[in-house]
Structure 1
Amino acid sequence: MAAETADATTDQVDGDRRREQRGWYVYDFACSVYSTSVVTVFLGPYLTSVAKAAADAEGYVRPLGIPIRAGSLFAYAISASVVLAVLLMPLAAAWADRTGRRKPLLAAAAYTGAGASAGLFFVSGDRYLLGAGLLIVANASLAVSMVVYNAYLPEIATPAERDRVSSRGWAFGYTSGALVLVADLVLYGGHERFGLSEAEAVRICLATAGLWWGAFTVVPLRRLRDRAVGHGGRAGAGSGLKQLAATLKDMRRHPLTLSFLLAYLFYNDGIQTVISQASIYGSEELGLDQTTLITAVLLVQVLAVAGALLMARLARTHGAKRAILGSLVVWILILVAGFVLPAGSPAWFYALAVAIGLVLGGSQALSRSLFSHLVPRGKEAEYFAAYELSDRGLSWLGPLFFGLAYQLTGSYRDAIVSLVVFFGVGFVLLARVPVRRAVAAAGNPVPDRI
């Protein structure tokens, strides 16, 4: 009887954990549409056009009297959102870990971001300040929500499950991004048939991303649960920045975890730069039209689903570290192929998009799951705040390197191949991290394969 009771209890625990995992996947499904449709595809060109409509004869807008070239507004707004996120993420992490109440924080960040994205519908005419402000709020909110979201991973998945669970989360995100992007392209491409102007179609696409984000966030909020913490107290008004300093100091006691973060900083910055600069490379260097570029983004989204799941399988047989190292070799080959890609050849650009899609999701998913093994128990949100800071807060290094390479050489081909440095350094640093020893040093059980 006791054995049957124990088995029933184990089944209940496993069932509850799987239920939470399914809810966790859906947050990626909810928020990834914003990253794809708003940030990657539509808002940059649209906000630039709005700023140009408000610009003076010299092409400048002047918020607070500061002259800003209209074409630079989107980039500056993204940079400002990073600064705001860097200030907010440690505050959020400290509050989440000290109180154990992550769901209210996830809800607040998600619905603030979703509301800001939906509000982009009202950006028209010369309302560039409204657009820039909503972009800053939405981007910073997404960053805060991802700190809380990622911190759930060690709680809802056993060490043996994390590669699979993390990869499925990314797969759900890329699936939603592709689904909504198809609908957006139908609306945008046929806006005249729907009785809409081009600007109205874009505004509907921007707002739809916010509505999607908010609607599907209900699922993780219903299925995820908060857990009691072993220490009391609440984070004070200034404790977040103090906590960030304390987290970085604490990481010095876990140098192998810090070594992984350094490796991740380099190769992830390379990944983010390739993604953000691919459209510029395609249009300026290869002479491809907007339809080709958007179709390539859609292709990346679809294949990233399969890529994330495929790399999760590789991690099960070869370990997450080896799978990531293999993906970095593929990224280097992608950059070399991009360097020699002939201009005016959409087919070859699509082939490059296929390769990017197959390694993009897996590289990110396995990095997240591997890092989750290196986090000391009870400090999940704090350490994932540092992880997000290395992801988002320092994501300006790659674009700066790309820009300097172009400025010095005048060639986008030289600029794109220069990013090999990020993947090469990241490969070497990651290869030197003894991950099994790092997991044990963090006080966590070591999986059979990692």
Structure 2
Amino acid sequence: MNGFGNKLSNLEKYWILYDVGNSAFILLVSTIIPINFKNIAQTNGIIPSDSTAYWSYAISLSTIIVAILGPVLGTLADTKGYRKTLFAIFMIFGVLGCAALSLPLSWILFLSIFVFAKIGVSGSFIFYDAMLSDITIDERMDHISSLGYAWGYIGSCIPFIISLLLILFADKLSLTTSFATSIAFLLNAVWWLFMSMPLIKNYKQIYYVEVKENPLKNSFRRLYDVLRDIKKQKKIFIFLLAFFFYIDGVYTIIEMATSYGKDVGIDDANLLFALLLTQIVAFPFAILFGKLSKKFKSQNLISTCILGYLAIALFALQLDKPWEFWLLA
């Protein structure tokens, strides 16, 4: 791959395409899915504050499960022949979960399937991120990663806008809102699956650990060795601890924004269009941050973003008007 300049290789394009695919579901998680859940919960007599709590419990449960599985899956990702297979399995779990949300479900079953789908997409990221070292060279990783984010943001707008139009104009299309929402879930599941196929078909693992014993047993042994050695690498331990709190804060804001906005009285249309705006704004800025990473230290850029999130969280404490939600978006 050396020497191809700024031109993307086919494998790099396929890797970026998966971000375009899964980002459709990620966008649903912060928009249509929580709104749909809260509407289902309300029809079952659950008050808004309780439904928000149940939604947060579901997100926390999926996060805890992935956190427990993550280290083992991470070591399996390095084992010869496992990276692509496990990536495909978790991707399929996520796609099937997204599609299953289209069924008429009770609120508890809806949440259960959502947790299943969330584990699927989060688990696939473990192997997807590990693929990057096989996809490109070290010098291009920041660039390719930022392109994945950028095209993921803008690409996810295509199925989302179609879904949004279906739901908002359901009456004019002679559809019920619930049926239009079901179509939206199926549409996004198909989009996710379709965008994943080029990577699954063409990816080959280059860097791996060859294991002769049982791979699962070996992954636990290697994980134990890493945890034992981490005591001697305080910087790595502090980094992992810091990243845990950092990324959990980021995802909490993303995944709870719509539910919180609905609780303070902002209507569904304003919530959905404001979060569509975030995808459009994120496209150029993801590319910009990728370029800035060549000129500035990554920790300085991350610190800037953390300060931004801090300002967002503090401002949101008094949020109760649609224009305020748009401003934060």
Bin the TM-score by the shorter chain: 0.7 to 0.9
Equivalent residue for 2:63, pick from 53, 74, 82: 82
**Which secondary structure state, in structure 2, belongs to the residue aligned with residue 121 of structure 1?**
coil
- Contact persistence 2:96–2:189 (CA under 8 A): yes
- 1:237 to partner: Cα distance: 4.5
Alignment map for 1:272-291 (pairs within 5 Å): 272-285=251-264, 287-291=265-269
Distance 1:70 1:270, change over 3 A: closer
Secondary structure of the equivalent of 2:172? coil
1:5-404 to 2 correspondences below 5 Å? 18-37=9-28, 39-51=29-41, 72-124=53-105, 127-227=106-206, 229-237=208-216, 240-241=219-220, 243-285=222-264, 287-338=265-316, 343-344=320-321, 346-353=322-329
Give the letter aligned to residue 252 of structure 1: K
Instruction: Check conservation: 2:134, 2:205, Cα contact below 8 A.
Output: no
- The answer to whether the 8 Å contact 1:98/1:234 transfers is no
54 and 289 in structure 1: CA distance in 2 versus 1, 3 angstrom threshold: closer
The offset of 1:103, in angstroms, is 1.2
2:300 & 2:216 partners in 1: Cα distance?
Answer: 42
Please tell me whether the aligned partners of residues 117 and 206 of structure 1 are also in contact (alpha carbons under 8 angstroms).
yes
Identity of aligned residues (%): 24
Q: Judging changes above 3 Å, is the alpha-carbon distance between structure 1 residues 102 and 208 closer, same or farther for their aligned structure 2 residues?
A: same
- Cα separation, 2, equivalents of 1:242 and 1:156: 27
Note if contact 1:25-1:168 (Cα within 8 Å) is conserved in structure 2. yes
| Conservation of the 8 A alpha-carbon contact between 2:23 and 2:153 | yes
Distance (whole Å) between structure 2 residues aligned to residue 75 and residue 241 of structure 1: 31
Distance 1:184 1:231 in 2: 45
Tell me the C-alpha RMSD between the 2 structures. Answer: 3.0
Structure 1 stretch displaced more, 209-218 or 265-274? 265-274
Residue in 2 aligned with 1:375? none
Structure 1 Cα separation of the partners of residues 186 and 17 of structure 2:
19
Query: How many angstroms does 1:340 deviate by?
Result: 6.6
Residues matched between the structures, number = 327
Mark the runs of 5 or more structure 2 residues left unpaired by the alignment.
none
Which of the two has higher C-alpha Rg? 1
Shift of 1:273: 2.7
Task: Describe the shift of the 1:335–1:118 C-alpha distance in structure 2 as closer, same or farther (beyond 3 A).
Answer: closer
- How far does residue 112 in structure 1 lie from its aligned partner after superposition? 1.9
- Counterparts of 1:352 and 1:10, CA distance in 2: 41
2 CA distance for matches of 1:70 and 1:274?
A: 17
Residues 349 and 193 (structure 1), Cα distance of their counterparts in 2 relative to 1, 3 Å cut: same
Quote the offset at 1:351 in angstroms. Answer: 2.6
Distance in 2, matches of 1:192 and 1:234, equals 60
Alpha carbons of 1:77 and 1:333: their partners in 2 closer, same or farther (altered >3 Å)? closer
**Cα pair 2:35 2:258 within 8 Å, conserved:** no
Aligned partner of residue 137 in structure 2, secondary structure: coil
CA contact (8 A) 1:170 1:305 kept: yes
TM-score (norm 1): 0.65
